[in-house]
Structure 1
Amino acid sequence: MGKGLNIKKGDTVKVIAGKDKGAEGKVIAVLIEDERVIVEGVNRIKKHTKVQDQGGRAGTTGGIVTTEAAIHVSNVMLVEDGKPVRVGFKREAVTKRRRDGSTYAAERSVRVSRKSGKEI
């Protein structure tokens, strides 16, 4: 499996390239295998949908639906305190608990802001 992405679902990001440059929005979904993200209100497309007759009220109505399309993760930057920041990673020591109640020391990877050094 490839390297993970710095952006997660629920993050607020700013678009830094493309037709929606400067727009900010919340990440709705992350497509890891395609290295793309879907951002709320960014890269809106019109999708033509067919009428699906499934009998009764269950069918969907056809027409033109406006929805968000995915954009490449390199075209967005994570926002912290209203400003775009680069993302770094830091290893942090933690104590984990086993099922039997005993504890052990381990490390976990944490996203940090390159600008302030704070955990994201």
Structure 2
Amino acid sequence: MKIKSGDEVIVIAGKDKGATGKVVKALPKEQRVVVEGVNLIKKHKKANPAAGQQGEVVTKEAPIHVSNVALAEDGKATRVGYRFEDDGTKVRISRRTGKDI
């Protein structure tokens, strides 16, 4: 998966198209990422009277498929490529500008 945790991404498809945010969590097995402020859902939590908790509605981010986001560079979407350094390390690069990410 070319999108990592901590990357700044832009949503390119879906109800939140055009929104940008930071990747909070990457889920490579499911090919999904959690982006802060994007794909918000309301989760109803049940009350627990024994513990003295009331029921509530919590708004949180749900995972979004990685194909619906692109790495943001200078506010624009860019594709991610790879380059191998002389010492054999693999480095992510921007396909739009060619710079290291």
Q: Shared fold (TM-score greater than 0.5)?
A: yes
| 2:4 counterpart residue number | 8
| 1:104 counterpart residue number | none
* 2:100 equivalent to 1:119: yes
| 1:98 counterpart residue number | none
Distance in 1 of aligned mates of 2:98 and 2:81:
9
Cα distance, 1:79 vs. partner?
0.6
Cα distance, 1:86 vs. partner?
0.6
Q: Please, which runs of 5 or more residues in structure 2 have no aligned partner?
A: none
| 1:108 counterpart residue number | 89
Provide the secondary structure at the position in 2 that maps to 1:93. coil
Question: Runs (4+) of structure 1 moved beyond 3 Å?
Answer: 52-55
Cα distance, 1:18 vs. partner?
0.3
Q: Percent identity?
A: 57
* Residue identity matched to 2:4: K
| 1:100 counterpart residue number | none
Cα distance, 1:54 vs. partner?
6.7
| 1:102 counterpart residue number | none
Alignment RMSD (CA, Å): 1.5
| 2:20 counterpart residue number | 24
**Residue-by-residue CA offset, 1:53-103 (whole Å, 9 max, x unaligned):** 675xxx654311000001100000001122111100011123xxxxxxxxx
* 2:74 equivalent to 1:74: no
Distance in 2 of aligned mates of 1:36 and 1:13:
13
Q: Please, which runs of 5 or more residues in structure 1 have no aligned partner?
A: 95-106
TM-score normalized by the length of structure 2? 0.92
TM-score normalized by the length of structure 1? 0.78
